[in-house]
A and B are shown apart, each in its own frame.
Chain A
Amino acid sequence: MAANAHAVEEHAGPAGPVAHHFNNMRQQQATVRFGMWLFLVTEVLFFGGAFCAYTCYRIWFPREFEAGSAALNVGIASVNTILLITSSLTCTMAVRSAYKAHQAGIKFWLLTTIVLAVTFLGLKAREYHLDYEEGLMPTAKMTVDLQPQADGSYLPQERSVFAMNVEKALKHNHYDTTGVNLGRVQLFFLFYYVITGLHVLHMIIGVGLLIWQLILAQMGFFKYAERHVYIEVMSLYWHFVDMVWMFALPLLYLAGPHTLHQAVEQFTSAVGLATGGSH
């Protein structure tokens, strides 16, 4: 035992290298796994706080949240959902390969996961861009707009820029805005940007992890099957990011009415496949 105390950083046993402060591989694996679960607990509370605040406001202002949701691009969101769920599957396949120390499998599945994730991020960027073009960014800016009067004439009136933009977007989606406080829809959009923004940030970090593990795999790090635990905890993280999306999707995108036709049209026009009817 005493020899152990001053051991160098890593000592290789039959089960692969064990870090200096662990007694054996089992302990090391269990600790790594446990650590990731602890991290996810923190993450649950992190997103939980945002969802909780969202819920409060949704209860107070159901109409505005419904309207805000109706203005979103549910087409891209649907495709992204499919991409993300598939990436969880491929990520799990990578874990399976790692269990068997199957090098080619690890690399292939990691790469597939990365491609799916990057596609997701690309589409998401496109969606943000479209939101930006439609002017769906919360802003304190005001402008002068001609408002129809009861006698058929128009009078100039100061209006919030955001309210005008969201009104236009909703009209395009055939959403009836009577009784909606359009300025207040900004509350919904603040949550939309915060929650999806945090989710995107988590995905970017996840892609970073995936790339890192791909490099490690390339370097032969996973030739010890015991090291599957590192891919395993990364996949835990990845599934968690997936789960967040599974909550964000209904809360943000499905809170208002959308049709399948609309979703298809939104997606095709967003990626430039549309032949006709784009705005």
Chain B
Amino acid sequence: MTQRYDAVVIGAGIVGAACARECAQAGMRTAIIEQGTIGGGATAAGMGHIVVMDDSPAQLALTRYSQLLWSDLASQLPPSAEYETCGTLWVAADEEEMAEVLRKQELYRSAGVPVEVLDQAQLREAEPNLRPGLAGALLIQSDAVLYPSAAALHLLNQAIEQGADLCAGAHVLHCGNGSLQLSDGTTFAADRIINAAGALAGALTPGLQIRKRKGHLVITDRYPGFVRHQLVELGYLKSAHSVSGDSVAFNVQPRKTGQILIGSSRQYDEESPGIESRILTAMLDRVGQYMPGIAELSAIRSWTGFRAATPDKLPLIGPDERDPTLFLATGHEGLGITTSLATARLLADHFRGAAPAIPLDPYLPSRFAAEAAHA
């Protein structure tokens, strides 16, 4: 038996759930297919930092747009989503990084993001558990944190309330040219297929320029007030954006429960999900350099996850030019929690033929096809 839909979304991570919600809200007959747990992929592994990032103008536009969508949605989120506007402090270790703070300040200001520069004394007052002697920080007040899996479940429930069908427990074997075959024998016909399968998107749509980028995280027991903002070292810019090699960075997050989420690491070409003590030790050493007292806290769990990384650090959003029924919503690397809502809205606007709030061009999958043709 074949079921017919206007739109079928593959994957109920935070991106797929957001897409199903937008499609259903736009009045499309929508289904969403998830092989495992709702929000159980990269979404369950992620830190849940809603962060405006300025690596490129297109990244700044997308993250800012999406952060604003989250703050609009915040009042409707259930308590389990643990949404909190704690702000981000980009920590500068020395004067050289302080110069970077001033450069970033201008960029954020030009995008209309409220910012504040903290000097050495103000940073100490804001975060007494950071080691003394750090040069200062850039405070982005509007950044937030949330619990990604609970947020994904909420988005999915909203999609279902709007009439979307959830097909859980089966995986998509093949998709394309308006049809999908599932492992349980069902077939779907769809005007639009949205591949939101995260780091696994390439298994369904060959030729995508996505590499897995592994990350480790650790969570502590509850220590309310020990950390007050999401703290990220500015040196992170050097490590996170290098395209090759393993890297670790100081990145800690206060959870609403008082727990502290500790990150982060980045590794290409590591397929096994196991915890690697070499990476974990390097990560915790780095964290200890910024926050020595953290070594006294008790950690209760550690895990890993895979980001879906593209060569230019921007996601793939929009039509796949090889198949008029196929659309992509993947490749969000370390920002998919943040950019899920904007991704879904941009796609829905594209389907409706409505003018998007920000240009879609920088995220179109065809940018890589064009590159390949010129090479």
Do A and B pair up? The answer is: no
